[in-house]
Amino acid sequence: MRSFVPSEGYSEAKGMPVLRDLGTALVNGGAGFLGSHLCERLLLRGHSVICLDNFSTGRRANVEHLASNARFRIIEHDVRQPFDIETSLIFNFASPASPPDYQRDPVGTLLTNVLGAVNTLDCARKTGAIVVQSSTSEVYGDPTQSPQRESYCGNVNPIGPRACYDEGKRSAETLFFDYHRTYGVDIRVGRIFNTYGPRMRLDDGRVVSNFIVQALRNADLTIYGDGQQTRSFCYVDDLVEGFLRFSAAGSACHGPINLGNPGEFTVRRLAEIIRDLTNSRSRIVHLPAVVDDPRQRRPDISRAMTELEWQPRIELEAGLARTVEYFDGVLAGTARAEAV
Ligand code: NAD
Ligand code: UDP
């Protein structure tokens, strides 16, 4: 049984020599927003890293700065097709995540989540790797309980426009737990609540990137619906830290575990905070509500606090300030990822 190894602090020096080889970690979706931060942290921690991606919503630019590292490799591949890679740790982060992205090709989204889970689990079964799934708060749908605990089974419309993603992620969780019960695969299922930070795309379509880019351009901030719906926003470094701890937790710890920041904000309040932070002249405008938009979302993170000794450290304003700085650089054409 693996012992609990708390991951390193955020202050670990970049470029520090690696003192021990922790084996190869495979990151499906490693060229995406979250996946690229994860690749970076895994390299710093002492892993060799393989980034597997089909570059549908991710970008080579997100991992370009890692290319000169001898322990980093990119494989262009679609998780809907089987793969066989020698590895001891797999993170399955391959799936479009922004509603406009995942609704553009709903069948492709569902298949990415279902076939991607099967192919990832088959790879883990062959290699004996620990396999970590990026699940989502969307498994709770439009929740009738708040905060959402892991024991809540959710309220998902199975035939609506969000279902390709929600039901895809729910099916993936089912596959993870069935592979664990049937074949003894060592799984970890983390349910991510809205996470933001540098390397989101300008045109990603999610609320944080939309509002920041609109505010920096002094364009209207577009609230869908009345703006009273709530979300809980987690900064990317906190989220990645949670996943690293989860991957290193003992093999009795399979989850599901909520990973997110319990601070809850209305979308209206988020717009006001971002407008203030950017000193923007933007107006706040209301557009029609989107179908099946969850009214509230807030994680109960007691399980993560107890089992992983994890909780977010970065407050919304501080995380938004870093993200604003990033988008400012992108709009000015000066943003650059740092080499690891
Ligand atoms: P993202 O779109 O930036 O990253 C997804 C990555 O997966 C991209 O690099 C994309 O090219 C790749 N990908 C998509 N389909 C693929 C396929 N069929 N084969 C191979 N690669 C494929 O999104 P993200 O925000 O970084 O999300 C990463 C993961 O975390 C996703 O699984 C998402 O569902 C989950 N998640 C994210 C959030 C969040 O707030 N960011 C919340 C809940 C869950
Ligand atoms: N939203 C909004 N304006 C935007 C983008 C999103 O008001 O420009 C709202 C959206 O309707 C939802 C919330 O912000 O209520 C979060 O949306 P996002 O797409 O970021 O993530 P979700 O939690 O819906 O997956």
Q: Which ligand is nearest to the CA of 112?
A: 1
| pLDDT, average across residues 301-305 | 98
Residue 187 has φ and ψ, to the nearest 5°, of -105, 160
| pLDDT, average across residues 169-190 | 98
Residue of 28, 34, 75 to mutate, ligand 1, most atoms within 8 A of C-beta: 34
CB 31 within 8 A of CB 63: yes
- Greater confidence (129 vs 1) lies with 129
CA dihedral 34, 39, 45, 48 (to 10 degrees): 160
- Whole-number mean pLDDT of the chain? 93
Its pTM stands at 0.94
Q: Which atom of ligand 2 is nearest to the CA of 289?
A: 11
Determine the pLDDT at residue 73.
97
Residue of 38, 41, 62, 93 to mutate, ligand 1, most atoms within 8 A of C-beta: 93
Determine the pLDDT at residue 2.
30
What spacing in Å lies between the alpha carbon of 44 and ligand 2's midpoint? 33
Tell how far CA 42 is from the center of its chain: 15
Q: Amino acid identity of 272? A: E
Determine the pLDDT at residue 1.
27
- Give yes or no for residue 337 CB within 6 A of ligand 2: no
What spacing in Å lies between the alpha carbon of 94 and ligand 1's midpoint? 5
Sign (positive or negative) of CA dihedral 74, 76, 80, 86: negative
Determine the pLDDT at residue 20.
55
Residue 310 lies in a domain: yes
Output Rg (C-alpha) for the chain, integer angstroms: 19
What spacing in Å lies between the alpha carbon of 166 and ligand 2's midpoint? 15
Q: Is the pLDDT of residue 275 over 80?
A: yes
Sign (positive or negative) of CA dihedral 39, 44, 46, 48: positive
Residue 108 lies in a domain: yes
Q: Amino acid identity of 303? A: R
Q: Where residue 250 falls among pLDDT bands split at 50, 70, 90?
A: confident
165 tagged catalytic: yes
Span 2-25, pLDDT tens digits: 322 333 333 333 444 444 567 999
Q: Where residue 165 falls among pLDDT bands split at 50, 70, 90?
A: very high
Q: Where residue 318 falls among pLDDT bands split at 50, 70, 90?
A: very high
Residue of 34, 204, 207 to mutate, ligand 2, most atoms within 8 A of C-beta: 207
Residue 81 lies in a domain: no
**Domain range enclosing 244:** 95-197+236-261+293-314
Nearest to 232 by CA among 147, 311, 289: 147
What spacing in Å lies between the alpha carbon of 98 and ligand 2's midpoint? 9
Determine the pLDDT at residue 335.
65
- Give yes or no for residue 117 CB within 6 A of ligand 1: no
Residue 105 lies in a domain: yes
Residue 122 lies in a domain: yes
CA distance 128 to 332: 46
Residue 102 lies in a domain: yes
How many domains in the chain?
Answer: 1
CA distance 223 to 274: 13
Residue 135 lies in a domain: yes
Residue carrying the six token digits 């980093």 = 72
Determine the pLDDT at residue 339.
54
CATH number of the domain to which 149 belongs: 3.40.50.720
CB neighbours (10 Å) of residue 269?
14
Residue 119 lies in a domain: yes
Q: Whose CA is nearest to atom 10 of ligand 2?
A: 224
Sequence-distant (≥ 6) Cβ neighbours of residue 266 within 8 angstroms: 227, 228, 229, 230
Q: Where residue 131 falls among pLDDT bands split at 50, 70, 90?
A: very high
Span 180-193, pLDDT tens digits: 999 999 999 999 99
Q: Which atom of ligand 1 is nearest to the CA of 112?
A: 18
